[in-house]
Structure 1
Protein backbone atom coordinates (compact mmCIF):
# COMPACT_ATOMS: atom_id res chain seq x y z
CA UNK A 1 0.00 0.00 0.00
CA UNK A 2 1.44 3.38 -1.06
CA UNK A 3 1.87 6.13 1.51
CA UNK A 4 0.15 9.42 0.62
CA UNK A 5 2.58 12.23 -0.21
CA UNK A 6 2.87 14.95 2.39
CA UNK A 7 1.18 18.18 1.35
CA UNK A 8 3.51 20.82 -0.08
CA UNK A 9 4.47 23.57 2.32
CA UNK A 10 2.98 26.99 1.56
CA UNK A 11 5.83 29.40 0.80
CA UNK A 12 3.72 32.49 0.09
CA UNK A 13 4.76 35.61 1.98
CA UNK A 14 1.52 35.68 3.96
CA UNK A 15 1.86 32.04 4.95
CA UNK A 16 5.50 32.51 5.95
CA UNK A 17 4.50 35.48 8.09
CA UNK A 18 1.65 33.64 9.80
CA UNK A 19 3.84 30.62 10.56
CA UNK A 20 6.73 32.67 11.94
CA UNK A 21 7.65 33.01 15.60
CA UNK A 22 6.04 35.94 17.44
CA UNK A 23 9.39 37.75 17.71
CA UNK A 24 9.97 37.42 13.97
CA UNK A 25 6.40 38.57 13.35
CA UNK A 26 7.05 41.65 15.48
CA UNK A 27 10.20 42.43 13.49
CA UNK A 28 8.35 42.01 10.19
CA UNK A 29 5.45 44.22 11.26
CA UNK A 30 7.83 46.90 12.54
CA UNK A 31 9.82 46.90 9.30
CA UNK A 32 6.68 47.01 7.19
CA UNK A 33 5.32 49.97 9.17
CA UNK A 34 8.72 51.70 8.92
CA UNK A 35 8.76 51.16 5.15
CA UNK A 36 5.28 52.68 4.76
CA UNK A 37 6.25 55.63 6.96
CA UNK A 38 9.43 56.15 4.91
CA UNK A 39 7.42 56.37 1.69
CA UNK A 40 5.03 58.83 3.35
CA UNK A 41 8.00 61.01 4.37
CA UNK A 42 9.48 60.78 0.89
CA UNK A 43 6.22 61.92 -0.72
CA UNK A 44 5.82 64.71 1.84
CA UNK A 45 9.35 66.03 1.36
CA UNK A 46 9.16 65.91 -2.44
CA UNK A 47 5.95 67.96 -2.35
CA UNK A 48 7.38 70.35 0.27
CA UNK A 49 10.56 70.98 -1.72
CA UNK A 50 8.63 71.53 -4.93
CA UNK A 51 6.46 74.12 -3.15
CA UNK A 52 9.55 75.74 -1.59
CA UNK A 53 11.16 76.11 -5.01
CA UNK A 54 8.00 77.68 -6.45
CA UNK A 55 7.67 80.09 -3.51
CA UNK A 56 11.33 81.07 -3.70
CA UNK A 57 11.10 81.69 -7.44
CA UNK A 58 8.02 83.88 -6.96
CA UNK A 59 9.64 85.87 -4.16
CA UNK A 60 12.89 86.24 -6.10
CA UNK A 61 10.93 87.68 -9.00
CA UNK A 62 9.14 90.16 -6.73
CA UNK A 63 12.36 91.11 -4.92
CA UNK A 64 14.28 91.62 -8.16
CA UNK A 65 11.58 93.98 -9.49
CA UNK A 66 13.18 96.78 -7.47
CA UNK A 67 10.11 97.84 -5.53
CA UNK A 68 10.59 99.59 -2.17
CA UNK A 69 11.14 97.03 0.58
CA UNK A 70 8.34 98.52 2.67
CA UNK A 71 5.88 97.93 -0.17
CA UNK A 72 7.15 94.41 -0.70
CA UNK A 73 6.71 93.67 2.98
CA UNK A 74 3.09 94.86 2.82
CA UNK A 75 2.43 92.23 0.14
CA UNK A 76 3.45 89.49 2.57
CA UNK A 77 1.93 90.95 5.73
CA UNK A 78 -0.61 88.71 7.41
CA UNK A 79 0.35 85.67 5.31
CA UNK A 80 1.99 82.45 6.39
CA UNK A 81 5.69 82.92 5.77
CA UNK A 82 8.15 80.33 4.57
CA UNK A 83 11.46 80.25 2.78
CA UNK A 84 12.77 83.55 1.45
CA UNK A 85 9.70 85.53 2.49
CA UNK A 86 10.13 84.39 6.11
CA UNK A 87 13.77 85.51 6.07
CA UNK A 88 12.79 88.83 4.52
CA UNK A 89 9.99 89.51 7.02
CA UNK A 90 12.30 88.64 9.94
CA UNK A 91 14.78 91.27 8.74
CA UNK A 92 12.05 93.86 8.26
CA UNK A 93 10.64 93.19 11.72
CA UNK A 94 14.05 93.80 13.28
CA UNK A 95 14.47 96.94 11.19
CA UNK A 96 11.14 98.33 12.40
CA UNK A 97 11.79 97.43 16.06
CA UNK A 98 15.19 99.09 16.03
CA UNK A 99 13.85 102.26 14.46
CA UNK A 100 10.86 102.34 16.80
CA UNK A 101 13.22 102.12 19.76
CA UNK A 102 15.48 104.74 18.16
CA UNK A 103 18.40 102.35 18.53
CA UNK A 104 21.84 103.38 17.39
CA UNK A 105 22.56 102.60 13.75
CA UNK A 106 25.89 101.06 14.69
CA UNK A 107 24.29 98.01 16.25
CA UNK A 108 21.47 97.67 13.74
CA UNK A 109 23.48 95.69 11.23
CA UNK A 110 24.59 93.21 13.88
CA UNK A 111 21.02 92.73 15.03
CA UNK A 112 19.88 92.27 11.45
CA UNK A 113 22.51 89.59 10.91
CA UNK A 114 21.41 87.78 14.07
CA UNK A 115 17.75 87.98 13.05
CA UNK A 116 18.56 86.64 9.59
CA UNK A 117 20.72 83.83 10.97
CA UNK A 118 17.88 82.76 13.26
CA UNK A 119 15.36 82.90 10.41
CA UNK A 120 17.61 80.87 8.11
CA UNK A 121 18.19 78.30 10.88
CA UNK A 122 14.45 77.98 11.49
CA UNK A 123 13.66 77.55 7.79
CA UNK A 124 16.53 75.09 7.40
CA UNK A 125 15.16 72.96 10.23
CA UNK A 126 11.77 72.87 8.52
CA UNK A 127 13.35 71.78 5.24
CA UNK A 128 15.32 69.00 6.94
CA UNK A 129 12.35 67.87 9.01
CA UNK A 130 11.87 64.07 9.14
CA UNK A 131 15.00 63.32 7.10
CA UNK A 132 16.61 61.88 10.23
CA UNK A 133 14.04 59.07 10.26
CA UNK A 134 15.06 58.06 6.73
CA UNK A 135 18.70 57.98 7.79
CA UNK A 136 17.84 55.86 10.84
CA UNK A 137 15.84 53.31 8.85
CA UNK A 138 18.46 53.25 6.12
CA UNK A 139 21.20 52.33 8.58
CA UNK A 140 19.28 50.24 11.12
CA UNK A 141 16.74 48.48 8.88
CA UNK A 142 19.06 45.71 7.62
CA UNK A 143 20.28 44.97 11.14
CA UNK A 144 16.74 44.76 12.51
CA UNK A 145 15.89 42.37 9.68
CA UNK A 146 19.04 40.37 10.41
CA UNK A 147 18.01 40.09 14.05
CA UNK A 148 14.68 38.62 12.95
CA UNK A 149 16.50 36.22 10.62
CA UNK A 150 18.92 35.02 13.31
CA UNK A 151 16.06 34.53 15.75
CA UNK A 152 14.04 32.61 13.17
CA UNK A 153 16.97 30.38 12.20
CA UNK A 154 17.58 29.58 15.86
CA UNK A 155 13.97 28.48 16.17
CA UNK A 156 14.21 26.52 12.92
CA UNK A 157 17.24 24.57 14.11
CA UNK A 158 15.57 23.91 17.44
CA UNK A 159 12.55 22.48 15.60
CA UNK A 160 14.86 20.36 13.43
CA UNK A 161 16.58 18.95 16.51
CA UNK A 162 13.25 18.12 18.13
CA UNK A 163 11.99 16.43 14.95
CA UNK A 164 15.31 14.57 14.52
CA UNK A 165 14.94 15.10 10.79
CA UNK A 166 17.37 17.14 8.69
CA UNK A 167 15.70 16.74 5.31
CA UNK A 168 15.28 19.83 3.13
CA UNK A 169 11.51 19.64 3.48
CA UNK A 170 11.86 20.15 7.22
CA UNK A 171 14.61 22.77 7.08
CA UNK A 172 13.36 24.96 4.23
CA UNK A 173 10.14 26.41 5.75
CA UNK A 174 11.83 27.69 8.91
CA UNK A 175 14.76 29.15 6.98
CA UNK A 176 12.41 30.83 4.51
CA UNK A 177 10.40 32.42 7.32
CA UNK A 178 13.61 33.75 8.87
CA UNK A 179 15.00 35.13 5.61
CA UNK A 180 11.77 37.00 4.96
CA UNK A 181 12.71 39.31 7.86
CA UNK A 182 15.99 40.22 6.14
CA UNK A 183 14.14 40.85 2.89
CA UNK A 184 11.75 43.23 4.64
CA UNK A 185 14.70 44.98 6.31
CA UNK A 186 16.26 45.62 2.91
CA UNK A 187 12.89 46.64 1.49
CA UNK A 188 12.69 49.38 4.10
CA UNK A 189 16.37 50.36 4.08
CA UNK A 190 17.23 50.64 0.38
CA UNK A 191 14.57 53.25 -0.57
CA UNK A 192 15.28 55.12 2.68
CA UNK A 193 19.00 55.43 1.91
CA UNK A 194 18.46 56.51 -1.70
CA UNK A 195 15.75 58.99 -0.73
CA UNK A 196 17.79 60.39 2.16
CA UNK A 197 20.77 61.12 -0.08
CA UNK A 198 18.59 62.75 -2.74
CA UNK A 199 16.42 64.75 -0.36
CA UNK A 200 19.41 65.88 1.72
CA UNK A 201 21.02 67.23 -1.44
CA UNK A 202 17.79 69.02 -2.39
CA UNK A 203 17.46 70.48 1.11
CA UNK A 204 21.08 71.62 0.98
CA UNK A 205 20.45 73.51 -2.26
CA UNK A 206 17.41 75.25 -0.80
CA UNK A 207 19.29 76.13 2.39
CA UNK A 208 22.15 77.57 0.33
CA UNK A 209 19.59 79.69 -1.47
CA UNK A 210 18.27 80.97 1.86
CA UNK A 211 21.77 81.81 3.05
CA UNK A 212 22.62 83.57 -0.20
CA UNK A 213 19.47 85.67 0.00
CA UNK A 214 20.19 86.57 3.63
CA UNK A 215 23.65 87.79 2.63
CA UNK A 216 22.21 89.89 -0.21
CA UNK A 217 19.59 91.37 2.10
CA UNK A 218 22.17 92.27 4.75
CA UNK A 219 24.28 94.00 2.12
CA UNK A 220 21.26 95.95 0.84
CA UNK A 221 20.14 97.03 4.30
CA UNK A 222 23.70 97.90 5.26
CA UNK A 223 23.82 100.36 2.39
CA UNK A 224 20.52 101.83 3.59
CA UNK A 225 21.99 102.22 7.09
CA UNK A 226 25.19 103.87 5.84
CA UNK A 227 23.20 106.25 3.66
CA UNK A 228 20.81 107.05 6.53
CA UNK A 229 17.83 106.44 4.29
CA UNK A 230 14.47 104.96 5.19
CA UNK A 231 13.07 101.97 3.37
Structure 2
Protein backbone atom coordinates (compact mmCIF):
# COMPACT_ATOMS: atom_id res chain seq x y z
CA UNK A 1 0.00 0.00 0.00
CA UNK A 2 1.52 3.37 -0.96
CA UNK A 3 2.22 5.83 1.86
CA UNK A 4 -0.23 8.62 2.58
CA UNK A 5 2.26 11.27 1.51
CA UNK A 6 2.29 9.90 -2.03
CA UNK A 7 -1.49 10.35 -2.28
CA UNK A 8 -1.27 14.08 -1.55
CA UNK A 9 -0.66 16.72 -4.16
CA UNK A 10 2.83 18.27 -4.11
CA UNK A 11 1.45 21.64 -3.03
CA UNK A 12 -0.57 20.16 -0.16
CA UNK A 13 2.38 18.05 0.94
CA UNK A 14 4.68 21.09 0.83
CA UNK A 15 2.20 23.12 2.87
CA UNK A 16 1.87 20.43 5.56
CA UNK A 17 5.65 20.14 5.83
CA UNK A 18 5.93 23.88 6.59
CA UNK A 19 2.83 24.14 8.78
CA UNK A 20 2.92 26.17 11.98
CA UNK A 21 1.01 25.76 15.23
CA UNK A 22 -2.01 27.77 14.05
CA UNK A 23 -2.38 25.62 10.95
CA UNK A 24 -2.22 22.40 12.97
CA UNK A 25 -4.80 23.66 15.48
CA UNK A 26 -7.25 24.53 12.70
CA UNK A 27 -6.56 21.25 10.90
CA UNK A 28 -7.25 19.38 14.14
CA UNK A 29 -10.51 21.26 14.60
CA UNK A 30 -11.53 20.40 11.04
CA UNK A 31 -10.69 16.74 11.63
CA UNK A 32 -12.80 16.74 14.80
CA UNK A 33 -15.73 18.30 12.95
CA UNK A 34 -15.42 15.75 10.16
CA UNK A 35 -15.31 12.78 12.55
CA UNK A 36 -18.31 14.07 14.52
CA UNK A 37 -20.42 14.81 11.47
CA UNK A 38 -19.71 11.49 9.79
CA UNK A 39 -20.38 9.59 12.99
CA UNK A 40 -23.81 11.22 13.10
CA UNK A 41 -24.40 10.65 9.37
CA UNK A 42 -23.55 6.94 9.50
CA UNK A 43 -25.46 6.29 12.72
CA UNK A 44 -28.48 8.14 11.36
CA UNK A 45 -28.28 6.18 8.10
CA UNK A 46 -28.35 2.84 9.93
CA UNK A 47 -31.12 4.08 12.23
CA UNK A 48 -33.31 5.14 9.30
CA UNK A 49 -32.78 1.77 7.64
CA UNK A 50 -33.79 -0.01 10.82
CA UNK A 51 -36.83 2.23 11.26
CA UNK A 52 -37.90 1.57 7.67
CA UNK A 53 -37.73 -2.20 8.15
CA UNK A 54 -39.63 -1.95 11.46
CA UNK A 55 -42.35 0.16 9.81
CA UNK A 56 -42.77 -2.36 7.00
CA UNK A 57 -43.03 -5.21 9.52
CA UNK A 58 -45.65 -3.43 11.63
CA UNK A 59 -47.63 -2.25 8.60
CA UNK A 60 -47.81 -5.80 7.27
CA UNK A 61 -49.12 -7.12 10.61
CA UNK A 62 -51.61 -4.27 10.95
CA UNK A 63 -53.11 -4.77 7.49
CA UNK A 64 -53.33 -8.52 8.03
CA UNK A 65 -55.17 -8.16 11.38
CA UNK A 66 -58.90 -8.85 11.57
CA UNK A 67 -59.76 -5.96 13.89
CA UNK A 68 -58.28 -2.44 14.16
CA UNK A 69 -57.51 -3.01 17.87
CA UNK A 70 -56.22 -6.56 17.53
CA UNK A 71 -52.51 -5.66 17.76
CA UNK A 72 -53.27 -3.32 20.64
CA UNK A 73 -55.05 -6.10 22.52
CA UNK A 74 -52.20 -8.54 21.85
CA UNK A 75 -49.70 -5.97 23.18
CA UNK A 76 -47.51 -6.29 20.09
CA UNK A 77 -44.38 -4.17 20.47
CA UNK A 78 -42.38 -2.70 17.58
CA UNK A 79 -40.04 -0.43 19.47
CA UNK A 80 -38.20 0.97 16.44
CA UNK A 81 -41.34 1.58 14.39
CA UNK A 82 -42.87 5.08 14.53
CA UNK A 83 -45.96 3.58 12.90
CA UNK A 84 -46.42 1.45 16.01
CA UNK A 85 -46.15 4.45 18.36
CA UNK A 86 -48.72 6.38 16.31
CA UNK A 87 -51.04 3.38 16.33
CA UNK A 88 -50.58 2.78 20.06
CA UNK A 89 -51.28 6.42 20.93
CA UNK A 90 -54.50 6.35 18.88
CA UNK A 91 -55.61 3.03 20.39
CA UNK A 92 -55.08 4.28 23.93
CA UNK A 93 -57.32 7.29 23.29
CA UNK A 94 -60.04 5.18 21.64
CA UNK A 95 -59.93 2.56 24.41
CA UNK A 96 -60.31 5.31 27.00
CA UNK A 97 -63.39 6.77 25.32
CA UNK A 98 -64.94 3.37 24.61
CA UNK A 99 -64.15 1.46 27.81
CA UNK A 100 -62.73 3.98 30.26
CA UNK A 101 -59.25 2.36 30.26
CA UNK A 102 -56.17 3.10 28.20
CA UNK A 103 -54.54 -0.34 28.43
CA UNK A 104 -56.10 -3.68 27.38
CA UNK A 105 -57.03 -5.90 30.29
CA UNK A 106 -58.22 -9.48 30.59
CA UNK A 107 -61.80 -8.59 29.67
CA UNK A 108 -60.88 -6.10 26.95
CA UNK A 109 -62.25 -8.14 24.02
CA UNK A 110 -65.52 -8.99 25.81
CA UNK A 111 -66.14 -5.42 26.90
CA UNK A 112 -65.33 -4.14 23.44
CA UNK A 113 -68.16 -6.24 21.98
CA UNK A 114 -70.72 -4.34 24.04
CA UNK A 115 -69.16 -0.91 23.69
CA UNK A 116 -70.86 1.78 21.68
CA UNK A 117 -69.19 4.32 19.45
CA UNK A 118 -67.40 7.57 20.05
CA UNK A 119 -68.45 11.04 18.97
CA UNK A 120 -66.70 13.11 16.27
CA UNK A 121 -65.34 15.43 18.96
CA UNK A 122 -63.77 12.46 20.75
CA UNK A 123 -62.30 11.34 17.43
CA UNK A 124 -60.73 14.79 17.23
CA UNK A 125 -58.88 14.01 20.47
CA UNK A 126 -57.67 10.74 18.92
CA UNK A 127 -56.37 12.63 15.88
CA UNK A 128 -54.61 15.08 18.19
CA UNK A 129 -52.84 12.18 19.91
CA UNK A 130 -51.72 10.84 16.54
CA UNK A 131 -50.45 14.25 15.44
CA UNK A 132 -48.51 14.57 18.69
CA UNK A 133 -46.97 11.13 18.13
CA UNK A 134 -46.00 12.08 14.56
CA UNK A 135 -44.32 15.25 15.82
CA UNK A 136 -42.39 13.34 18.48
CA UNK A 137 -41.25 10.76 15.90
CA UNK A 138 -40.09 13.55 13.58
CA UNK A 139 -38.07 15.11 16.41
CA UNK A 140 -36.41 11.76 17.14
CA UNK A 141 -35.54 11.30 13.47
CA UNK A 142 -34.04 14.79 13.24
CA UNK A 143 -32.07 14.51 16.49
CA UNK A 144 -28.37 15.45 16.26
CA UNK A 145 -28.74 16.68 12.68
CA UNK A 146 -27.81 20.13 13.96
CA UNK A 147 -24.30 18.77 14.64
CA UNK A 148 -23.91 17.94 10.96
CA UNK A 149 -25.29 21.32 9.94
CA UNK A 150 -22.82 23.02 12.29
CA UNK A 151 -19.88 21.12 10.82
CA UNK A 152 -21.09 21.87 7.30
CA UNK A 153 -21.40 25.60 7.87
CA UNK A 154 -18.32 26.15 10.07
CA UNK A 155 -15.72 24.08 8.16
CA UNK A 156 -15.24 26.57 5.26
CA UNK A 157 -15.02 29.48 7.67
CA UNK A 158 -12.41 27.72 9.78
CA UNK A 159 -10.41 27.06 6.62
CA UNK A 160 -10.72 30.70 5.61
CA UNK A 161 -9.63 31.81 9.08
CA UNK A 162 -6.50 29.67 8.82
CA UNK A 163 -5.76 31.07 5.37
CA UNK A 164 -6.07 34.70 6.42
CA UNK A 165 -4.03 34.05 9.56
CA UNK A 166 -1.32 32.27 7.56
CA UNK A 167 -1.10 35.02 4.95
CA UNK A 168 -0.68 37.62 7.69
CA UNK A 169 2.11 35.55 9.24
CA UNK A 170 3.76 35.11 5.83
CA UNK A 171 3.84 38.84 5.12
CA UNK A 172 5.06 39.53 8.63
CA UNK A 173 7.90 37.03 8.20
CA UNK A 174 8.89 38.52 4.86
CA UNK A 175 8.91 42.04 6.30
CA UNK A 176 11.08 41.04 9.27
CA UNK A 177 13.64 39.25 7.06
CA UNK A 178 16.78 41.29 6.52
CA UNK A 179 18.00 40.20 3.11
CA UNK A 180 15.30 37.82 1.84
CA UNK A 181 12.45 39.04 -0.30
CA UNK A 182 10.39 37.90 -3.21
CA UNK A 183 8.38 34.84 -4.02
CA UNK A 184 10.87 32.34 -2.61
CA UNK A 185 10.50 33.79 0.86
CA UNK A 186 6.73 34.18 0.58
CA UNK A 187 5.89 30.79 -0.94
CA UNK A 188 6.12 28.58 2.21
CA UNK A 189 3.86 30.84 4.24
CA UNK A 190 1.26 31.25 1.48
CA UNK A 191 1.19 27.52 0.75
CA UNK A 192 0.74 26.73 4.43
CA UNK A 193 -2.06 29.26 4.66
CA UNK A 194 -3.93 27.72 1.74
CA UNK A 195 -3.76 24.26 3.30
CA UNK A 196 -6.51 25.11 5.79
CA UNK A 197 -8.86 26.28 3.02
CA UNK A 198 -8.31 23.05 1.12
CA UNK A 199 -8.96 20.95 4.21
CA UNK A 200 -12.03 23.03 5.07
CA UNK A 201 -13.50 22.34 1.63
CA UNK A 202 -12.57 18.66 1.86
CA UNK A 203 -14.55 18.49 5.11
CA UNK A 204 -17.52 20.58 3.93
CA UNK A 205 -18.20 19.07 0.49
CA UNK A 206 -18.64 15.39 1.52
CA UNK A 207 -20.54 16.50 4.64
CA UNK A 208 -22.92 18.50 2.45
CA UNK A 209 -23.59 15.43 0.29
CA UNK A 210 -24.27 13.24 3.33
CA UNK A 211 -26.40 15.91 5.00
CA UNK A 212 -28.62 16.42 1.95
CA UNK A 213 -29.01 12.66 1.58
CA UNK A 214 -30.14 12.31 5.19
CA UNK A 215 -32.46 15.32 5.02
CA UNK A 216 -34.24 13.85 2.00
CA UNK A 217 -34.61 10.47 3.72
CA UNK A 218 -35.95 12.06 6.92
CA UNK A 219 -38.38 14.24 4.95
CA UNK A 220 -39.74 11.25 3.05
CA UNK A 221 -40.02 9.31 6.33
CA UNK A 222 -42.05 12.13 7.93
CA UNK A 223 -44.35 12.20 4.88
CA UNK A 224 -44.91 8.45 5.31
CA UNK A 225 -45.74 9.03 8.98
CA UNK A 226 -48.35 11.64 8.03
CA UNK A 227 -49.82 9.34 5.39
CA UNK A 228 -50.06 6.44 7.84
CA UNK A 229 -51.69 8.68 10.45
CA UNK A 230 -54.25 9.76 7.84
CA UNK A 231 -54.90 6.15 6.85
CA UNK A 232 -55.26 5.14 10.49
CA UNK A 233 -57.57 8.06 11.22
CA UNK A 234 -59.82 7.19 8.29
CA UNK A 235 -60.05 3.53 9.34
CA UNK A 236 -60.84 4.35 12.95
CA UNK A 237 -63.37 6.96 11.88
CA UNK A 238 -65.29 4.41 9.78
CA UNK A 239 -65.19 1.78 12.53
CA UNK A 240 -65.67 3.61 15.82
CA UNK A 241 -67.24 7.04 15.16
CA UNK A 242 -71.00 7.67 15.27
CA UNK A 243 -71.80 10.31 12.64
CA UNK A 244 -75.56 10.36 13.19
CA UNK A 245 -77.07 13.78 13.79
CA UNK A 246 -77.87 14.59 17.39
CA UNK A 247 -81.53 14.75 18.39
CA UNK A 248 -80.90 17.65 20.71
CA UNK A 249 -82.76 20.78 19.62
CA UNK A 250 -81.89 24.38 20.25
CA UNK A 251 -84.10 26.30 22.71
CA UNK A 252 -86.86 28.42 21.16
CA UNK A 253 -86.73 32.20 21.20
CA UNK A 254 -89.65 32.20 23.63
CA UNK A 255 -87.66 30.14 26.13
CA UNK A 256 -84.94 32.76 26.11
CA UNK A 257 -87.31 35.44 27.38
CA UNK A 258 -87.68 39.01 26.22
CA UNK A 259 -84.86 41.53 26.54
CA UNK A 260 -85.12 44.13 29.30
CA UNK A 261 -85.72 47.58 27.76
CA UNK A 262 -86.81 50.82 29.45
CA UNK A 263 -90.46 51.59 28.73
CA UNK A 264 -91.19 54.85 26.91
CA UNK A 265 -93.83 57.16 28.35
CA UNK A 266 -95.47 59.79 26.25
CA UNK A 267 -95.46 62.35 29.12
CA UNK A 268 -91.81 63.16 28.70
CA UNK A 269 -91.15 66.80 27.78
CA UNK A 270 -88.20 65.97 25.59
CA UNK A 271 -89.11 65.41 21.94
CA UNK A 272 -88.54 62.09 20.27
CA UNK A 273 -85.23 61.92 18.42
CA UNK A 274 -85.70 62.13 14.71
CA UNK A 275 -83.86 60.03 12.20
CA UNK A 276 -81.53 62.95 11.53
CA UNK A 277 -80.78 63.32 15.22
CA UNK A 278 -80.09 59.59 15.55
CA UNK A 279 -77.77 59.60 12.57
CA UNK A 280 -76.00 62.67 13.99
CA UNK A 281 -75.60 60.96 17.34
CA UNK A 282 -74.18 57.83 15.72
CA UNK A 283 -71.76 59.94 13.70
What band does the TM-score fall into relative to the shorter chain? 0.7 to 0.9
- Per chain length, whose mean CA-contact separation is higher, i.e. which structure has more relative contact order (CA < 8 Å, sep 6+)? 1
Alpha-carbon distance, 1:134 to partner: 2.0
CA contact (8 A) 2:30 2:200 kept: yes
Secondary structure (helix, strand or coil) at the match of 2:81 reads coil
The answer on 1:15 being equivalent to 2:17 is yes
Instruction: Tell me the number of residue pairs that the alignment of Structure 1 and Structure 2 aligns.
Output: 216
CA contact (8 A) 2:118 2:242 kept: no
- Pair 204,11 (structure 1): closer, same or farther in 2 beyond 3 Å: closer
| Alignment of structure 1 residues 218-229 onto 2, 5 Å | 218-226=233-241
Secondary structure (helix, strand or coil) at the match of 1:69 reads coil
| Alignment of structure 1 residues 118-197 onto 2, 5 Å | 118-164=132-178, 165-197=180-212
- Which segments of 5 or more consecutive residues in structure 2 lack a partner in the other structure? 1-11, 102-116, 244-283
Alpha-carbon distance, 1:40 to partner: 0.7
Q: Name the one with the larger helix percent.
A: 1
- Tell me, in whole angstroms, the C-alpha distance in 2 between the residues paired with 1:160 and 1:75: 79
- Tell me, in whole angstroms, the C-alpha distance in 2 between the residues paired with 1:65 and 1:13: 64
- Tell me, in whole angstroms, the C-alpha distance in 2 between the residues paired with 1:222 and 1:104: 9
- Pair 205,75 (structure 1): closer, same or farther in 2 beyond 3 Å: farther
**Deviant stretches of 4+, over 6 Å:** none
- Which segments of 5 or more consecutive residues in structure 1 lack a partner in the other structure? 1-9
Is the radius of gyration larger for structure 1 or structure 2?
A: 2
The answer on 1:109 being equivalent to 2:108 is no
- Tell me, in whole angstroms, the C-alpha distance in 1 between the residues paired with 2:41 and 2:15: 26
Deviates more, 1:189-198 or 1:207-216: 189-198
- Pair 31,76 (structure 1): closer, same or farther in 2 beyond 3 Å: farther
- Tell me, in whole angstroms, the C-alpha distance in 2 between the residues paired with 1:110 and 1:195: 39
- Tell me, in whole angstroms, the C-alpha distance in 1 between the residues paired with 2:237 and 2:229: 12
Cα RMSD (Å) of the superposition?
2.4
Deviates more, 1:60-69 or 1:203-212: 60-69
- Tell me, in whole angstroms, the C-alpha distance in 1 between the residues paired with 2:92 and 2:15: 59
- Tell me, in whole angstroms, the C-alpha distance in 1 between the residues paired with 2:97 and 2:203: 51
Residue equivalent to 1:89 = 88
CA contact (8 A) 2:15 2:191 kept: no
Secondary structure (helix, strand or coil) at the match of 1:170 reads helix
Alpha-carbon distance, 1:29 to partner: 1.4
